[in-house]
Amino acid sequence: MKTVGVFDSGVGGLSVLRALLAELPGVRFVYVADSAHAPYGERTVAEITERSESITAWLRSTHHIDALVVACNTATALAIDSLRATHPDLPIVGVEPALKPAAATSQTRHIGVLATRGTLNSERFARLRTQLESTASSPVHFICQPCDGLADAIERGDLQTQQALCERYVQALRNQAPGDMDTVVLGCTHYPFAADVLAQLLGPDVALVDTGTAVARRTRDVLNVSDPTNTNATSPMLFSTGDPAALSQAAERWLGLRTRAEKLAA
């Protein structure tokens, strides 16, 4: 049986784990929530690289993982090149905001992007955006909104702050949009857990796009298992550098998992 490590700054990567479990039931997953250091979105490149390296080293030495999923847009944007250089023998799958699928389906060609400041300010994101703006079949316009504090509010389960920040950022998108937006990209793995609030504020004519399923399919290809469903399903192992009880509760609430998370002192 293959083992895959998955990590995020906190509980947000559970939105990716949900897709991984659906796509690869015969794989063992070890999930690390770096909640003691969340949020990553307003941290420096050096801090995020150090955290990503430390978690990856622990996953390799303790669980002998066959592949790693960086279930965090911010860590992918700022640290995946360094991780790949340090671990050339480990297949590493990252997540990045779903600009490409959004550009493929948007009719109005005005697409909102909600993500952390770290992701939106990164060179990796700038490259992706410029590439799509110059190659999309018809001109496409991305309206990017950094959402300071939103991942943190979701992390803490603070529904009131979550609602207030979603209202503020949806309004900010509308203020910047030169035309009708028909698509909004959820460019942080925490945001699918605020999708109901965002959908209500944006209305039924705006589609929300995230990357969970695409990342899970990419992981399946990278693992190179002929039939990933042909094994008994196992429960993922959950670890948190913060409060393990908060991770267990989030996993039960959002994924229906009844797994007890353990404390990780890394």
Positions that interact with ligand DGL (CB under 6 A): 8-9, 12, 38-41, 72-74, 116, 119, 151, 188-190
Q: Which is nearer to ligand DGL, 65 or 95 (CB)?
A: 95
For this structure, is 188 an active site residue?
Answer: yes
* C-beta of 136 vs 164, nearer to ligand DGL: 164
Contact in structure between 101 and 209 (CB atoms under 8 Å): yes
CA separation, residue 164 to residues 12, 150, 151, 171, 201 (Å): 19, 9, 13, 11, 11
Kind and range of the H or E element at 239?
strand 237-240
User: Which listed residue (144, 147, 166, 188) is catalytic?
Assistant: 188
Phi/psi class of residue 36: alpha, beta or left (left: φ > 0; alpha: ψ in -120 to 50)? alpha
- Alpha carbon distance 115, 196 (integer Å): 17
Minimum distance from residue 68 beta carbon to ligand DGL (Å): 15
Q: Is the dihedral of CA 239, 242, 247, 248 positive or negative?
A: positive
Q: Note if 72 is an active site residue.
A: yes
Least CB distance from residue 255 to ligand DGL, whole Å? Answer: 16
- Return the residue nearest ligand DGL (CB atom): 41
Smallest gap from Cβ 115 to ligand DGL, in A, equals 7
Question: Phi/psi at 144 (nearest 5 deg)?
Answer: -100, 130
In whole angstroms, the minimum distance from the beta carbon of 251 to ligand DGL comes to 15
Q: Toward ligand DGL, which CB reaches closer, 109 or 124?
A: 124
Complex with ligand DGL: residue 111 or 182, whichever CB lies closer = 111
By annotation, the residues acting in catalysis are: 72, 188
